[in-house]
Structure 1
Amino acid sequence: MDLLTANDRHGEYPQSWYAATAEAPGPYPAAQGDIACDVCIIGGGFTGLSAALHLAERGYDVVLLEAQRVGFGASGRNGGQVGTGQRLEQDDLEKLVGRDDARKLWDMALESVQLVRAIVAKHAPDAGFTDGIIHAMHRARYVPEDHAYVRKLNEDYDYDLIRAVDRDEMRALCGSPAYHGGSLDMGGGHTHPLRLAFGMARAAVAAGARIFETSRVTGVKEGSTVTVSTDAGRVRAGHVVWACNGYLGNTEKRVAARVMPINNYILATEPLDAGFAKTLIRDGHAVADSKFVINYFRLSDDNRMLFGGAESYGYRFPKDIVKLVSKPMLEIYPQLKDTRIDYAWGGTLGITMNRMPHFERLQGNILSASGYSGHGVAMATLGGKMAADAIAGQAEQFDLMSQVPTPRFPGGVALRWPLLVAAMLWFSLRDKL
C-alpha cells in the first residue's frame, strides 16, 4: 500500500482546518520531459521548500519535485508548535554527543526558531506567530524533574526565556485539573504551518526555483550528474536533496532503515466564545504534555481548540478520527463535551529510534534530511537551510547533525512496524499507570 494515496486523494489537500483557511499557491505543473538544474530537491515540505528558497536566493538553479502538493504532508498537518531545543533534552544529548556538541545542537535549535520567525515575518505574515509553549506534567512526580531541567537550561545554557510553573499556575494557564505543574517557554510559540509552507513556496518561486507538483519520483540514478526520474519527466542535477520525511516509504532504503512513518491526528472544534476560550488556555500559548504519546493543543486565531493526540501504526488512518482524539481531549477538557467538531484529520511523520533528526550524505552530491520525530516545524525549516549551506560549501552544521547517531530500527524495514507497535503499547500502558 502507498502512503501517498492510502488516506488522501491524488493532488488534493486533506480536509483540515489548515487547508480550509490557507490559500494555496499554484497549482504548479507536473514535471515533463528532460529538465536540467543545479539542484533537484525531492519533497515539498518544510525541508524541501526551505532548501529551495535558500539555494535559489544564492543563485542556484533549483528544481523541486513534490509527489502531491507543496505542504501536503506533515508540514501542512501538524500542531503548529515551534519548540526550542532538540527533540531530545540536553541531558540526554550530553550523554550522546558530549557537552560541547550538545551546546552546538542547542544553539542550532534556537537558530531554527529564529529562522521560522524571520520567514513568517518576511514571507508568510498570514501564518502569524504567537509566543509561548507550556510543558504540562500529567504526573505530580514528574514536576521536580521538569523544574530541575528548567534550572539546567537557565544556568548551563544561559537560557532565561523558560521558567518553572507550579500546580496552581498551571491549572490557571490551562484551565484543567489534569496537570500538576511544569514550565513555560516563551522562546517558542505556534504558527499556522500550512500558511508557512505556502509562504516559503511562493518565496522560492519568486527567487527563481521551479516547483513541480504531482510529480512522484520513480527512480534515482546516482553519479557525478544525478538523474531523477518521475512518471513523465527526467531531471538531471549536480546535487540532490532527499526531503520526504514520513512520506519517503522505501524509495530510498538507506534512509528508510533509520526513519519510519507513524500517524498522528488532530481535531478542530467549532469557534468558541472568546471568554470561554480564555478559560481553556488563558494567555493563548501552545500546550504539550508529558505523556509518551503526547497531547498537544492550542487555540486558533478564530478561537477553535486545535487538539492533537493519539497515534497509529500502519498505512490506513482510523475510520473515526473524531472518536479517537476526542477521548484524550475530553480527559483534559471535559467542559468541551458538547462542543461541535468541525474538522478532523491525520498526517504521517517520520521518527527515528532516538528521536533525533537523521541527516546523511548518501554520496558526495546527494544529501538527506528527515526524521524530525514531531519536532519538525523549526528543525525541518533549518534542516533545509543546512542542506543548502552544505551544497554551497558551508557544511559545518549539516555535518554536525549527520554525526549524531541515529540507529537502524531492529529487524530493518520488514520488522519495524510490529516492534514499534509493541513498544508503543508498553509506553501507553506506562502513561495510564
Structure 2
Amino acid sequence: MLDAEHTRHEDLRTGKGPWRPALQRPTGGVLEADIRCDVAIVGGGITGALVAEHLTAMGRDVVLIDREREGFGSTAASTAMLQWEIDLKLSELAALYGFAAAAEVYRLSFQAVEGLRRLVGDLTLTCGFSPRQTVYFAAGESGPRELLAEAGLRERAGLPGSFVEHAALLEAFGFDRAAAIVSPGSAEADPLSLCHGLLGVSAQRGARLLRDEAVGFDGAGRSAAVTLASGHVVEAGSVVLATGYAMPDIVSDDLHRVASSWAIATVPQAPQALWSGPALVWEAAEDYCYCRTTADGRIVFGGEDEDFDDPDRREALGPEKTKALQARLHALIPQARLALDHAWSGAFGQTEDGLPLIGRVPGHPRLLAAYGYGGNGITFSFMASRLIGLLVEGREKRWFRHFAIDRPRPG
C-alpha cells in the first residue's frame, strides 16, 4: 500500500460480508496545503480507528489518512470474533518463550477484550458488541488429553475456563466432539459499525480525516512526515502505520507473512438450529475452522486458510472454498440450513509465533506500526492502540518486548 506497495481494497478482500454500517461515518477531506499535527495515522480500518480514538482521548491532535473508504478494506472482511485465546496454544507459546512470558501475553490479550468492552460501553457505540464464551474443540493432533493439559496450564496462568468432556459438551451446546475448553471473557461485534463509531468519536474530538494516499515517510529526524500522492506533506511528532495486511517495505519483518482465508454467512436460522450461548467456536487444529452467530440468527463460518496472498488466485478458489466450508459447517451442525446470503474472502497477516508486530519501526524511531494479528485482529488492534498511546507519551513498558517488530525469531 505504501512506498512501492500498491494494494487496493479489492486486493484485500473479495465478495461482501454481512456487515452494514449502522452509523453515519465521517468522510475524509482533501488537503490544499501542508499541515502539521501531533500524530498522523495511515490507515482508516479498525486499528487506525482505535488508535485515533485513544490518542484524541489523550488530547492529541490527530490526522488520519486513508486513500479509500474508511473501514472497507480488511476490516469489512473480519468475522469479528474478539477472542483472547491466540492462534498458538499457551503450551506452544510457552515452548517458544517460556511459561512466564507466554502467560503474560495471554493475560494481556484477556485484558484487551475487557478493555474493549469497557470502551464500547463508555462511548455507547452501536456495534452489536456482546460478551461471549468460547468453545475450543479437540481436533487434529489435539485430543482430549492435550486439551486437558492446556486447560491446566491456563489455570496455572490465572486464566478462566474449564475442560469439558464429550457428554457435558453435547448436553450444553449440542456439539458431538470429544472434548473442549469452554472459557468466558471473549466477545463479538459488527466490525464496520465499530470502526465507524470510533472514527465518529475521534472526528468529534477534532481529528482530521484525509482522503489521500501516503506514498512516502520520514521518521528518522526530530519530527516525522508523510508525503501524500497529492504532493502535500503531513508533518507530525509521530506517524502510526496501521495499513492492515498491506505492510509497507519499511516495516518488512521475517516473522510476518500474508495468507488468505474464506468465510460464509448463512441465511437466518431457526432458533433451534443454533447452539447455546451463543458461544464463539473454533478448533484446536493448525488448519482450524471457526464460527459465530449474528444478531439476526445467521451462522458466520470461516477457515480453509491458504499460505498465499494472490488476490486473483484467492478469488478463483472462492467457489471451491465455499463448498468446503458448507461441508464442514454441516458436519458440525447438521441441523443448520446451508443456504447462504454472503460468501467472501480476505487477506490476513500472521506471524510465526502467533504474536502481533507492534511498536517502533527499527531505524525510524518516530514511525510506529501495528501488523500481524492472525486470528485476533480486533483484540490485538485494541492492544496496539494502548501500546502506541504509551509510546507517543514517551513511556516504555517491559511487556512491549513481546510484540517488538525486531524481536528475534523463535527457536
TM-score by length of 1: 0.83
Between the aligned partners of 2:27 and 2:55, the Cα distance in structure 1 is 22
SS of structure 1 residue aligned to 2:196: helix
Taking structure 1 as reference, are residues 221 and 365 closer, same or farther at Cα in structure 2, changes over 3 Å only?
closer
- Map 1:248-263; keep pairs closer than 5 Å: 248=247, 251-263=248-260
1:233-382 to 2 correspondence within 5 Å?
Answer: 233-248=232-247, 251-276=248-273, 278=274, 281-312=275-306, 313-316=308-311, 317-319=314-316, 321-334=318-331, 335=334, 339-362=338-361, 363-382=364-383
Contact 2:266 2:338 in 1 (8 A): yes
> What does the per-residue CA deviation read over 1:246-274, in whole Å, with 9 as the maximum and x for residues that have no partner?
122xx234335442222212111111122
Gap change, CA 1:319 and 1:310, over 3 Å in 2: same
Matched position secondary structure for 1:345: strand
**Which residue is equivalent to 2:196?**
198
CA distance in 2, matches of 1:264, 1:32: 40
Calculate percent identity across the aligned residue pairs. Answer: 21
Q: AA paired with 1:327?
A: A
**What is the Cα deviation at residue 174 of structure 1?**
4.8
Quick one: distance in 1 between partners of 2:15 and 2:309?
18
Larger helix proportion of the pair? 1
Task: Give 1:7 shift.
Answer: 3.8
Report if aligned partners of 1:330, 1:337 keep a CA contact under 8 Å in 2: no
Q: 1:93 to 1:139 in 2, by over 3 A?
A: closer
Q: Which moved more, 1:118-127 or 1:379-388?
A: 118-127
Aligned partners of 1:254 and 1:31: how far apart in 2? 26
Contact 1:77 1:346 in 2 (8 A): yes
- Give how far 1:176 is off: 4.4
Matched residues in 2 for 1:275 and 1:383: separation? Answer: 39
Partner SS, residue 63 of structure 2 = strand
Q: 1:189 aligns with which of 187, 190, 194?
A: 187
Pair 295,284 (structure 1): closer, same or farther in 2 beyond 3 Å: same
How far does residue 66 in structure 1 lie from its aligned partner after superposition? 1.8
Whether the 8 Å CA contact 2:16–2:77 is kept in 1: the answer is: no
> Mean alpha-carbon deviation: is it higher for 353-362 or for 370-379?
353-362
Aligned partner of 2:165 in structure 1 is 166
CA RMSD of aligned residues (A): 2.7
Contact 1:32 1:234 in 2 (8 A): no
Structure-2 change in CA distance of 1:113 and 1:307 (3 Å): same
Matched, 1:152 2:161: no
C-alpha contact 2:135 2:280 (8 A) present in aligned 1: yes
Distance in 1, Cα, partners of 2:353 & 2:77: 23
Amino acid at match of 2:29: P
- Structure 2: gaps of 5 or more residues: none
The 1:349–1:4 alpha-carbon spacing in structure 2 relative to 1, beyond 3 Å, is same
**Aligned position for 1:60:** 60
Distance in 2 (alpha carbons) for counterparts of 1:373 and 1:359: 13
The answer to whether the 8 Å contact 1:74/1:246 transfers is: yes
CA displacement at 1:86 relative to structure 2 = 4.1
Instruction: Please state how far the C-alpha of 1:129 moved relative to its aligned partner.
Output: 1.1
Question: Kindly tell me: are residues 308 and 31 of structure 1, through their superposed partners in 2, closer, same or farther at Cα, counting changes over 3 Å?
Answer: farther
Alignment match, 1:101: 101
What SS does the aligned partner of 1:266 have? strand
**Paired residue type of 1:354:** D
- CA distance in structure 2 between the partners assigned to 1:378 and 1:115 by the alignment: 9
The alpha-carbon deviation at position 229 of structure 1 amounts to: 1.3
Q: How does 1:1-12 map to 2 (within 5 A)?
A: 2-7=6-11
What amino acid is aligned across from residue 252 of structure 1 in structure 2? D
- Residue of structure 1 equivalent to 2:131: 130
Assess, with a 3 A threshold, how the Cα gap between structure 1 residues 47 and 101 changes in structure 2: closer, same or farther: same
Structure 2 vs 1, CA of residues 5 and 74 (structure 1 numbering), >3 Å: closer, same or farther? closer
* In structure 1, C-alpha distance between the alignment counterparts of 2:92 and 2:12, rounded to whole Å: 37
Contact 2:359-2:405 within 8 A present in 1 as well: no
Question: Cα offset for 1:119?
Answer: 2.2
Deviation at 1:325, TM superposition (A): 2.9
1:49 aligns with 2:49: yes
Q: In structure 2, do the counterparts of structure 1 residues 141 and 201 end up closer, same or farther at CA, with 3 Å as the change threshold?
A: closer
Q: Deviations for 1:307-354, whole angstroms, at most 9, x for unmatched residues?
A: 111224132132363541331332342536863211111222111122
* Preserved CA contact (<8 Å) 1:136 1:170: no
SS in 1 for 2:315: coil
Report the CA distance between 1:408 and its aligned residue.
Answer: 6.8
1:204-226 deviation digits (Å, cap 9, x = unpaired):
2222222224x221111232222
